[in-house]
Amino acid sequence: MRTVFLTGGTGFVGSHVAEEFKRRGWSVRALVRSDPKWLTGLGVETVRGDLSDLHALAQAASGAEVVVHAAALTRAPTLDELREANVVGTLRLLDACASASKPPERVVIVSSLAAVGPSGARPLAEGDPLRPISNYGRSKAEMEERVAAHPLADRVTIVRPPAVYGPREADIYTVIKTAARQRLFPIVGDAHARTLDLVFVRDLARGIVDAAETPEAAGETFFLGGEAHSWNEIHREVTAALGTGAIKVKVSPRVVAPIGALVEGVGKLFGAYPPLNREKAREAKEAWVASSAKARMAFGYAPEVPLAEGMRETVAWYRAEGWL
């Protein structure tokens, strides 16, 4: 039985990646700080520790054919915090893989479309320059650049998902929760333009495992997107899944930043860094679309879940878990 060592397995994307590996007959070894959360009952071998423990990482990576690094910090008040998690943590994992008694043959690292920046008038391709506009994006871009200079770079595959939604997701969830409870659906910019690439989490998980199982993907970078949607389309499918109406509230791009700063300030009073903050407000004004053609050619990547179906399943999961 092939073994994968997985970081971030207790999180949203990572837990679905663990399920996909298990579905394909892999043995999954996951790094867990304390609570296995979504991994409970999956038959996953858990390794206690975190990305600061080089020795534990080396032991866990040893003997695994593949390492998948899905752990990441997606939002934080400062760039230093993001760099520590997303840059330093990733390099420490690669160092651990290199020092393992039996190093892995492949390493798949989950980056982000945010590392490249907004798409503008055309979908982004892997060869486009890195021009991030948020601290999260900057941390992911620096991570990619540092990984490219690492001795294990020829074993590494980097995958860049766009916005990801599905069961267990907690950020886009806030938009769905607002539509469900306040009957409001904020839209920034042109509601008709297809400016947001959305991928359902199981499609992304399949793509990540496909990349791990494809030897030719080593040393390469791939966008793993879904389909570009307009906010009108997203509104339609969210409200259809909820079975209730929600008023579309047009938000001028000029006021998004002040709103983000206000929400962030309120969050600080309660010791939290909210999903809507100055960084996310800056990103909300832009188009985020990428082409997955390279992944399609390399390992047949093809998202299968349409937005309507994905939103129905997501909303049903939120309700079953008491989130809505």
Model confidence pLDDT, tens digit, residues 74-103: 989 999 999 999 999 999 999 999 999 999
The predicted model scores a pTM of 0.94
pLDDT score recorded for residue 243: 97
Of 65, 56, 64, the C-alpha closest to 92 is 56
pLDDT score recorded for residue 264: 52
| Tens of pLDDT, residues 20-39 | 999 999 999 999 998 999 99
Instruction: Name the CATH architecture for the domain at 3-162+199-225+288-304.
Output: 3-Layer(aba) Sandwich (3.40)
Low-confidence ranges of the chain (pLDDT < 70): 253-277, 281
Domain locations in the chain?
3-162+199-225+288-304
